[in-house]
Structure 1
Amino acid sequence: MVTLTSTPGPERTTAGRDRPERPFSRVLVANRGEIAVRVIRTLRRLGIHSIAVYSDADADAPHVLLADEAVRIGPAPATESYLDPARIVDAALATGAQAVHPGYGFLSEHAGFARACREAGIVFVGPGDEALDVMGDKIRAKLHVAASGVPIVPGIADPSLDDAALIEAAGSVGFPLLVKPSAGGGGKGMQVVHAAGELAAALATARRVASAAFGDDTLLLERLIERPRHIEVQVLADAAGTVVHLGERECSLQRRHQKVIEEAPSPLLDAPTRARIGAAACDAARSVGYLGAGTVEFLVSDAAPDEFFFIEMNTRLQVEHPVTELVTGVDLVEQQLRIAAGEPLAFAQQQVRLEGHAVEARLYAETPHRGFLPSTGPVLAWRAPEGEGVRVDAGIREGQQITAYYDPMIAKVISYGSDRAQALERLDRALADTVVLGVDTNIAFLRRLLAEPGVQAGHLDTGLIDRMPESHAAEPVPELIDAAARRFARDDAVERLAAGDGGPTAWHSATGWRPGAVHATEVLLAPRDHPHEMRTVAAVPDAAMPDALADAVIRVDDDGAVWVHHRGASAAFVRIDRRTHAERRRAATERGADAADPDLRAPMPGTVTAVFAENGDTVEAGDAIVAIEAMKMEHRVVAALDGTVRLAVAVGDLVGRDQAVARIEPHPAASEPDPSDGPYAGAVANAPDQE
């Protein structure tokens, strides 16, 4: 273990060379959320004046409040703020920043931005132009590192090929294969193709997404390695040409090519393979004269762990960097700053040792039982877990609005233990103690994933999550239902008291009041996402919470929904009035129990990016009607029945969750019984007066 400096997280023993001097005096952080907070913490520890930037959506965000200084850079859309190089450079010049730390995402791998910083006399905390240019293009990167002897995945990497040429060349790669945008990262635009007949559609989708996300629709094809392990190696390189690696991270637990849980070290690799893959990563970095912190990503065969293939190099800090910091004792942000200031690395490869085990879980504002769609809204409650071996990197606070403008990751919960078993146990306990109310999160899913036998045993691959049973909304535990019912009943009592004309009398202030006793009132409630699953609960409005619920966290949102967290479980409930319930039952009966709802609703808040039908078109069940994008995700809303489409939105419209975007008017024949079909044989249409 190097342990040059203390890192955010559990207390660690420090040793080695102490370098308290500041590499810079003023640094601007060109990012937001948890990574901006995390960078600012190191800047403050080093005594460096920190400068935050913010969009209108982030005016009171935690990174803005933590920094020594903050500059507005534009409206909420990222393209008009965090993704605008000119605005960032102007902010740096206006505040006298000597250097810009880009974090990850946004402009962190933008070669033009790095050049603009240098041309303005500002140090870009990242690699040089060659590394950004070469490694920012997956096709170039593969060809480049292959020339240095680094093994690569078989595939087609020729930017001159159009769709027809790629389809023709695909046979030489073999199926299944992966269509990947050459620019960008994070899995955005990737398409898995199992057969030749699927390739044309996959290429069209990948080009559209790549063009919109990265401004470059160049594609490459790669052999899809079945049941692969995704393992990445952290490297550091200084201006003197010294390159070291800090071991590897296992990132195989992914969903839609997005990492969910990461750990260090990998439970797969033995010491000789670790040395070989680390050396290959250093070779890849040297091939482009790398400078700073970077990550070289590999696919490793689960069946043959000694075989690994280069995927790409991320020329920036990774989301999962905390697990490396915890097992090595190295603050990677500090190393980035010192290297950018021209300092040599203070340690050699033989001084790097991995001690203990660390695991990170990415906490997303999303709804797992609705296909992991993003969730937005105000953060009504936020409590980070504490305890031995627990670190939290977060960029949220109570009262903050989670919007659809940015990535849905809101925090990272990281654990450290003497071994893997202890780290996993501590992470599960920390997730149970994490409280987020007001937006849906993936906490329950993360705990279920950690409990999977394959995860516990370290038998991982990138398809493990896809093979898990589909996520469903968990049945709320009785304690959560009881707490919500009591809150609804209490609020009813307060409202009646406030509305009373004759002052606070028993007749106004107590539901079910009788001489000598207060009787429980019946509360009709249902889970927020399943309002049809109504249940009746008896609750005494003025009774104190029982001891079993004393530690429950309860909040009410602007729509009147009650959110409850209790001992590792969370749920949100809505109040159902009897008239609404009766109307819903009547509508369902008239439509038929198995009939599809004709209204098509947005599954998530976002922007309409495409409309696939004209108003009045005849469509069939399964036809795509509109596409909605939010938080780096595109979702298509499809027709649930045959009929005529009536659109309610247009391209560019902002829509809310469950907002009607279209309606399918069934064909007249679809609503009439077929006289030749089963029980309707010989029947005729009902007369108007027959019910």
Structure 2
Amino acid sequence: MFKTVLIANRGEIACRVIRTLRSMGIRSVAVYSDADAGARHVRLADAAVRLGPAPAAQSYLDIDAVLAAARSTGAEAIHPGYGFLAENAAFAQACAEAGIVFIGPEAESIRVMGDKITAKNAVEARGVPTVPGIAKPGMDNDALTAAAPGIGYPLLIKPSAGGGGKGMHVVEAEDQLATSLDAARREAAASFGDDTLFLERYVTTPRHIEVQVLADAHGHVIHLGERECSLQRRHQKVIEEAPSPLLDEATRARIGEAACETARSVGYRGAGTVEFIVPADSPDEFFFMEMNTRLQVEHPVTEEITGVDLVEQQLRIAAGQVLELDQEDIVLDGHSIETRIYAEDPSAGFLPTGGLVEHVRHPEGEGVRVDTALEDGLSVSIDYDPMLAKVITWGRDREEARARMVAALENTAVVGFTTNVEFLRALLELPAVIAGDLDTGLIAREFDSIRFAEPGKREFREAALLMDAARGSSTDPWRRRDGWRLGAPAPRRFPLVAADGTTRMVLLSGTVDAPAVVAEGDAGVTADANTGPDVGRSGSLPAFVKRRGQDVTVTIGGVGRSFTAVVGPEGVQLTRLGALFDIRRVRADHSIQGEAESNPTLTSPMPGTVLLTPVADGDVVSEGDAVLVVEAMKMEHVIRATVAGTVALHAAVGDAVSRGQVLAVITPAGTEPDDEGAARNDNANDREGEGAA
């Protein structure tokens, strides 16, 4: 077995691999970019090496730098995690040439399965069923357009390289094909460095089911059951579970054998995942989609129901050991569900967020597991994927696992910027999800029925969490920050700012079991403790604050930056995480479109980089025309004209932009350009930029 292993990755997967290395007594080496110098995976590892600046191309994707880090630390093997270099055949080959073990399959297996066209042809030759379509290398847009009618609509455009849903586009009609092909090529080239595309029939109401396989270098191949990954948005997985509620035992055995045969077709070695499409109305029929030649993000649900540590198996196989597990040893016990915590705002069209993590709270309890790199004070950059953490639950059956996940998400919070936690919990409460009636289009169909908290109420929750964080968790009384002293705890003061701008002080006192919030200096403001069953040693701070007859804005300061919230005349009550929400229905794009309607000033909805400007400065546009494309966290957002008129661009391709930054101003048709107004916009934007810096 190896003595030292380098992890060529970051974030939660790096922490996850380090955990297994530590349990096996193997020395771990982390690598990091300048953006991750203070990251948790860097501190957890036994050694750490800087790769370069924040951009992935200059750090985590720099093969020479990664190999140099391995040599300098004496690492005998490299674990690639997922993403970055995990499915890079050139990296696997470079490791072999450097005499360093790549913990994964051989370069040739990655090459074959990494190209979806060659993979499809390889498995078809072994009798594995595939989705009807056209998959030939080197087809340009004209050739694909000519082939489309023979496949029929709707169809699916897929990049030959890469994965994760990037570059995939569903085309409903012929008039959408040209623009979708252009976008797919651009995204594929940016994500994978290869813009080769192919077409497949789009299976209506498809279910995405994948099978985990393990294969050693001695010819042994087994599968560890399947995972259901049908809850997706834009082909990106959101919630995964194992086993699938769709398959019966006979189909499970057939699809498992098809996955093993896929692995045998390329002499596979290591842990891998074979992905299939299963029509929801024909669950005994399945089609091969692709093979991911790496560990999957959702691997924990398989670990939870089989008891097999997949990272440990990867290490043992890479070290040349014989796989000690036989197929009959794999028994599926119970049910497991995983949710992915993302830095994104579902109520605003899933726009990327990010920023400083003021405070994070992870759930605990029976049947709950968290894979994370999040911690207080972490800066979440737009340079990398927006996934922050994973919450995994196990139950004796699916409903127990689901209920535990809902409870776990109620006790999950990231304070400092918006995440998708609230959305995940609401998704798990949809009747179709409860019933296991899933398909990859469910989120798109049901999204309008998902309810979100008003922003003010969400921020009040964050304020309370920060007050809770101020208590600290140290058992050393001299290091605690909760007002501890001999006798009664000392009260802590926080400002209460009324709607008229006047400030009063709020005193927080009491004990963990019986906290109390009292107002000082104004009889019109009252606050009382609530000591319900969900309160107390769990750590959440209960508070009931109201002002009779008018709204009050509460600003809680003293820990990180302040948060504000409007508290209505009926008050806001926090008894447990998630219980305070005054729910209302909003569309995903309501806040953006409502503000943007007929507004000639186009601003960036998220921090990111200007990827494209389909129009030139001075061009005349119609309402709805694409004006700019902004990219952040591997996501493109098209900014369209809200009025017809003449465009004045205020940003260029390659510019880094902040959320709310003015990108273009449209002078409506029939009016004169307001040069002075544009100049004011520019100056205001400059001041905003200086403030952000």
Using the size of structure 1 for normalisation, the TM-score is 0.81
Match of 2:292 among 314, 339, 344: 314
Alignment of 1:380-395 (within 5 A): 380-395=358-373
Check conservation: 1:523, 1:539, Cα contact below 8 A: no
Aligned to 2:625: 623
Check conservation: 1:476, 1:571, Cα contact below 8 A: no
Quote the Cα distance in structure 2 between the aligned partners of 1:343 and 1:415. 31
Aligned to 2:170: 192
Q: Relative to 1, partners in 2 of residues 1:48 and 1:615: Cα closer, same or farther, differing over 3 Å?
A: same
Moved more, 543-552 or 133-142: 543-552
Report the 3-state secondary structure (helix = DSSP H, G, I; strand = E; otherwise coil) of the residue aligned with 1:658: coil
**How far off is 1:647 after superposition?**
1.2
Q: Relative to 1, partners in 2 of residues 1:485 and 1:665: Cα closer, same or farther, differing over 3 Å?
A: farther
Q: Relative to 1, partners in 2 of residues 1:566 and 1:103: Cα closer, same or farther, differing over 3 Å?
A: farther
Aligned to 2:530: 548
Quote the Cα distance in structure 2 between the aligned partners of 1:479 and 1:194. 38
**How far off is 1:483 after superposition?**
8.8
Report the 3-state secondary structure (helix = DSSP H, G, I; strand = E; otherwise coil) of the residue aligned with 1:183: coil
Quote the Cα distance in structure 1 between the aligned partners of 2:274 and 2:562. 48
Quote the Cα distance in structure 1 between the aligned partners of 2:113 and 2:447. 37
Match of 1:271 among 246, 249, 256: 249
Quote the Cα distance in structure 1 between the aligned partners of 2:521 and 2:112. 66
Quote the Cα distance in structure 1 between the aligned partners of 2:86 and 2:60. 11
Report the 3-state secondary structure (helix = DSSP H, G, I; strand = E; otherwise coil) of the residue aligned with 1:569: coil
Cα shift readout 1:502-535 (whole Å, capped 9, x = no counterpart): xxxxxxx999xxxxxxx9944679xxxxxxxxxx
**How far off is 1:478 after superposition?**
6.5
RMSD: 2.9
Q: Letter of the aligned partner of 1:552 in structure 2?
A: L
Report the 3-state secondary structure (helix = DSSP H, G, I; strand = E; otherwise coil) of the residue aligned with 1:468: helix
Aligned to 1:598: 600
Alignment of 1:101-500 (within 5 A): 101-470=79-448, 473-475=452-454, 481=460
Aligned to 1:583: none
Instruction: Answer yes or no: is 1:613 the counterpart of 2:615.
Output: yes
Report the 3-state secondary structure (helix = DSSP H, G, I; strand = E; otherwise coil) of the residue aligned with 1:109: coil
Report the 3-state secondary structure (helix = DSSP H, G, I; strand = E; otherwise coil) of the residue aligned with 1:425: helix
Alignment of 1:529-540 (within 5 A): none
Moved more, 364-373 or 165-174: 165-174
Instruction: Answer yes or no: is 1:569 the counterpart of 2:569.
Output: no
Report the 3-state secondary structure (helix = DSSP H, G, I; strand = E; otherwise coil) of the residue aligned with 1:153: coil
**How far off is 1:546 after superposition?**
3.1
Q: Letter of the aligned partner of 2:309 in structure 1?
A: D
Cα shift readout 1:642-681 (whole Å, capped 9, x = no counterpart): 122111111111011111111112233599xxxxxxxxxx
Q: Letter of the aligned partner of 1:34 in structure 2?
A: E
Check conservation: 1:521, 1:540, Cα contact below 8 A: no
Report the 3-state secondary structure (helix = DSSP H, G, I; strand = E; otherwise coil) of the residue aligned with 1:311: strand
Q: Letter of the aligned partner of 2:668 in structure 1?
A: P
Q: Letter of the aligned partner of 1:27 in structure 2?
A: V
Quote the Cα distance in structure 1 between the aligned partners of 2:100 and 2:385. 28
Using the size of structure 2 for normalisation, the TM-score is 0.81
Check conservation: 2:22, 2:28, Cα contact below 8 A: yes
**How far off is 1:598 after superposition?**
2.0
Cα shift readout 1:61-104 (whole Å, capped 9, x = no counterpart): 01001000000001001111111111111111111100000000
Quote the Cα distance in structure 2 between the aligned partners of 1:120 and 1:464. 47
Quote the Cα distance in structure 2 between the aligned partners of 1:38 and 1:482. 30
Moved more, 345-354 or 464-473: 464-473
Match of 1:72 among 10, 31, 50: 50
Quote the Cα distance in structure 2 between the aligned partners of 1:331 and 1:283. 23
Check conservation: 1:393, 1:413, Cα contact below 8 A: yes
Quote the Cα distance in structure 2 between the aligned partners of 1:485 and 1:430. 19
Quote the Cα distance in structure 1 between the aligned partners of 2:605 and 2:596. 21
Check conservation: 2:415, 2:462, Cα contact below 8 A: no
**How far off is 1:236 after superposition?**
0.1
Q: Runs of 5+ in structure 1 lacking a partner? A: 1-22, 489-508, 512-518, 526-537, 573-591, 672-691
Match of 1:667 among 666, 669, 672: 669
Q: Relative to 1, partners in 2 of residues 1:645 and 1:282: Cα closer, same or farther, differing over 3 Å?
A: same
Aligned to 1:651: 653
Identical residues among aligned pairs (%):
58
Q: How many residues align?
A: 592
Check conservation: 1:521, 1:539, Cα contact below 8 A: no
Greater relative contact order, per chain length (Cα 8 Å cut-off, separation 6+): 1
Q: Letter of the aligned partner of 1:618 in structure 2?
A: V
Quote the Cα distance in structure 2 between the aligned partners of 1:487 and 1:640. 39
Q: Letter of the aligned partner of 1:25 in structure 2?
A: K
Check conservation: 2:171, 2:180, Cα contact below 8 A: yes
Cα shift readout 1:178-225 (whole Å, capped 9, x = no counterpart): 001100111101111111222111111111111111111100100000
Q: Runs of 5+ in structure 2 lacking a partner? A: 468-492, 503-517, 543-555, 566-571, 582-593, 674-693
Aligned to 1:15: none
Report the 3-state secondary structure (helix = DSSP H, G, I; strand = E; otherwise coil) of the residue aligned with 1:118: helix
